[in-house]
Structure 1
């Protein structure tokens, strides 16, 4: 395939050749380029060429996208919100498998070809929610790469049988083992993290810990996570999700934590929340910490926000961090694309700074997004619908519709 007349990261026009799953040539435009038998020409029409999005923090199993709007009924705190979700998730207008499939379809059509989704597993739902996410992964296996996290939203120590269900989920096909707020939810951080890391070692899977804990408590939990990462040799296999409270300390505390995460290759993922402490994104990038972006729950029983569009969430990341300079807005795009991809595949290089624009060179896998826009920053501001999406060298969506 030749992709003609595109602008890689907003640069000068070029033609891009894709063979199999990878980019093999990037050349000057050639309007009279000869075609050979069986060769496809995809007309770029002067659009931007970007890496496809990687959503590395989404809860596909709790989505209500496509259903009638439902007033928010959740209360304060993780446990209260979890109980509210538990009370209502079975009562939606259509079945869970259909809801999950529809949301993943929306995400792919809008440019996301790498997804890391949580699937809640607990003594109430068993593996039902996990199975729905696994089914959607299978349905769209040729359109997107999906990793599934077995996620103990209710903790591991508050309800008898939680650990057994979590391990059963790993046997059933989950790719990652999750944990959550080891201090504030389970109130036994050493035991909680020992259980999570023991399962990770036994099943040879990465770890993803939800960390909503504030300030010193959050930094204490992060330190325990780093201790286990180092002791078990799990560099590049551990991610701290959210981590809102990690970055409200002193400058020396922030610098020390950034250095520690970089040293152990412990990644972090944000959903760009409003009204909370932002991440030191430039500092993290310069140190080489892997940072990804996700949409979290999408119009579910936790929150009315989210629409399946990572370009919207990239705008939110830039907005909540007060980015105005083009280089910083483009860095938000780099986090939303190659930043997340490098979390799902630790073999990929980390972003090296706010000016790093990887993903479109010869040898890169052709997970690509063609989108209208004068510049990458204008595309983030305008979020146009003129998009074409490629996964592993194949066109999988155009004009916000799956092919």
Structure 2
């Protein structure tokens, strides 16, 4: 049970308040100073501050802005090279398979194990303000369950700092190599939360068998579904329609996510409106990594359609790409930039996608009131950031952050506690 007083913070840049936390959730929000910490009648909150937080202590927000903690809902912790020497990326981009093969050729050469790399990357993300993540774990004929085991070990190491979901992900296809569905099944018995899929037409070239296999495994194991959909234009729209058909037939509302969904940028406005309406009706979530080369997912249009949308960092300096900083505030800037957002209110919506949006992707039942993460009953997961306005924080991406998970400080100024 984590009880605390988060004193003198400005949620979303508003007026200063004190936030009382009990049992890891918000119990009260009052104007700053309404209850002097040293005079708290319960005796739970003796005046103290800083990183040495104890149960029932006070955290001095020092007038910083407070936001719901970040949610990274599309990250590949199993492939990260964060913290290792920079490795030049020389893959020749010919197809998705060229990237898959480049990773296969080199991932065992990494200077640290999968679990060590995944744990370091996850810890750095937490230190920047992230307390929720959905990570893919590659399962295929090459690596078996080795990469999954590394991600599960990292989740265990940071279990008190972050909530981490794991996807059993057939990165190299579900049907191209023998034994992959059986390996996915084994992963589902090892603590995995979601069944993954990828490009049913473009990679496996058998959308019916691919999707039937994914949905069958999910039903039998009571798991949710997360499908990478890189397919462009009409091809991606076809695959999305096949997913929609199965969600409707099996009544899997709120249990399916489509990742990337680049096709949305390559179809007509009318087609996009129709498919987004179907996704909203069936509560199919979307995640984006704010790409710069595949067409921009129209963030505002997706949100206005009522579709749950979350943000992720994808690979982190791995064998696919040299990009990645582990800081979700960097990726929030990228989301705003690629969508050409200029008004403060629109940039705040990008911030909401990176925080509450991801929380909704992970839990379809999650709902947040007008205080956007600071209503009584909301989880006490915050990041405190110096600054004046949310849009300015996105532009400047300052340090000096305090990260609170379940009412407990888990990182201070970039350092895990």
Scaled by the length of structure 2, the TM-score of the pair is 0.94
> Which position in structure 2 is the counterpart of 1:387?
401
> Which position in structure 2 is the counterpart of 1:339?
357
Q: CA deviation at 1:350?
A: 7.7
- Contact preservation (8 Å) 1:73, 1:84: no
Q: CA deviation at 1:286?
A: 2.0
Question: After the TM superposition, which segments of 4 or more aligned residues of structure 1 sit over 3 Å from their partners?
Answer: 35-38
Q: CA deviation at 1:277?
A: 1.7
Q: CA deviation at 1:209?
A: 0.4
- Contact preservation (8 Å) 1:50, 1:369: yes
Asked if 1:181 corresponds to 2:195, the answer is: no
> Which position in structure 2 is the counterpart of 1:165?
183
Q: Deviations along 1:320-359, whole A, 9 cap, x unmatched?
A: 10011000111001000000001111111389xxxx7611
Scaled by the length of structure 1, the TM-score of the pair is 0.97
Q: Distance in 2 between matches of 1:261 and 1:369?
A: 31
Q: Distance in 1 between matches of 2:256 and 2:161?
A: 26
> Which position in structure 2 is the counterpart of 1:65?
82
Q: Distance in 1 between matches of 2:203 and 2:405?
A: 39
Asked if 1:37 corresponds to 2:40, the answer is: no
Q: Note closer, same or farther for the CA distance 1:149–1:370 as it changes in structure 2 (3 Å cut).
A: same
Asked if 1:378 corresponds to 2:392, the answer is: yes
Q: CA deviation at 1:29?
A: 1.3
Q: CA deviation at 1:38?
A: 4.1
Asked if 1:213 corresponds to 2:231, the answer is: yes
Q: CA deviation at 1:74?
A: 2.3
Structure 2, unpaired ranges of 5+:
46-56
> Which position in structure 2 is the counterpart of 1:47?
64
- Contact preservation (8 Å) 1:47, 1:373: yes
Structure 1, unpaired ranges of 5+:
none
- Contact preservation (8 Å) 2:168, 2:195: yes
Q: CA deviation at 1:153?
A: 0.3
Q: Distance in 2 between matches of 1:328 and 1:103?
A: 29
- Contact preservation (8 Å) 1:339, 1:350: no
Q: Distance in 1 between matches of 2:202 and 2:84?
A: 33
- Contact preservation (8 Å) 1:110, 1:308: yes
RMSD between superposed Cα atoms in Å: 1.3
Q: Deviations along 1:352-391, whole A, 9 cap, x unmatched?
A: xxxx761111110101111111111111111111111111
> Which position in structure 1 is the counterpart of 2:382?
368
> Which position in structure 2 is the counterpart of 1:285?
303
Q: When the two structures are aligned, how many residues end up with a matched partner? A: 399
